[in-house]
Amino acid sequence: MRKAVFPGSFDPITLGHFDIIKRSIRLFDEIVIAIGVNAEKKYMFSLEDRKRFIEETFKDEPSVSVITYEGLTIDLCNKLKAAFILRGLRNPADFEFEKAIAHTNRKLSGIETVFLLTAADTSYISSSIVRDVIRNGGEYEMLVPKAVRIK
Ligand code: ADP
């Protein structure tokens, strides 16, 4: 059974995340999207909203589930018996950042990180840019799945 954890803030989920998750469905039997809770970070969307957006987006994909967690991602993987961490790579900056974390995680736990290169047409999208567009009243709808809507 190939089980992967896809950790992130998902504040909010974007079409970039969507692309990575969709493409990973045929690689893994089960994908747990894990929304990390960091008490020191300020979020635009509540944890409940971030979770709901993802649940609605993948409601027809039985192998995809969503949870929230605190603490180390490797501890979560061990608890869930997931042997893989899934991450997306957009650019060299992502690679440099992710490389150190992936090496550390494998050193500490043996858990492998699997990277998917983002699709060319979503590689420029980030949650922080989406938040900026929203704050300034722009057309964020074309950057996120349909479930992400501001009330
Ligand atoms: P974090 O706070 O952990 O970076 P994010 O929600 O921003 O959380 O990102 C979670 C994962 O999704 C990371 O692996 C990131 O590289 C990936 N990701 C974010 N945006 C995109 C995108 N446009 N295309 C592909 N992967 C992406």
On whether residue 129 sits in a domain, the answer given is: yes
Residue at 13 is within a domain: yes
Compute the distance from residue 105 Cα to the ligand 1 centre, in Å.
Answer: 17
* DSSP code of residue 111: P
Residue 147 lies in a domain: no
DSSP state of 124: T
- Angle between the 73-80 and 92-109 helix axes, to the nearest 10 degrees? 60
pLDDT for 151 beyond 80: no
150 is a domain residue: no
Residue 1: count other Cβ atoms within 10 Å of its Cβ.
8
Specify if 72 maps to a domain. Answer: yes
Alpha helices (runs of H) in 6-126, residue ranges in sequence order: 15-24, 47-57, 73-80, 92-109
pTM confidence score: 0.94
What would the pLDDT profile of 51-98 be if each residue is shown by its tens digit? Answer: 999 999 999 999 999 999 999 999 999 999 999 999 999 999 999 999
Given this model, what pLDDT does residue 86 score? 98
Closest atom of ligand 1 to CA, residue 126: 20
In sequence order, the β-bridge partners of residue 65 are 32
Catalytic residue list: 17, 41, 90, 127
The domain in which residue 111 lies consists of 3-140
Shortest-distance Cα residue to atom 8 of ligand 1: 8
What's the number of domains the chain is made of? Answer: 1
Percent of the chain predicted with pLDDT > 90: 97
Query: Which CATH number belongs to the domain containing residue 53 in this structure?
Result: 3.40.50.620
Nearest-CA neighbor of 101 among 90, 115, 91, 80?
A: 115
Give the position of tokens 């909203």.
Answer: 49
Most informative mutation of 114, 118, 133, 142 for ligand 1 (most atoms within 8 A of CB): 118
**pLDDT digits over 20-44, tens only?**
999 999 999 999 999 999 989 999 9
- Average pLDDT, stretch 114-129? 95
Q: CB 44: neighbour CB atoms within 10 A?
A: 17
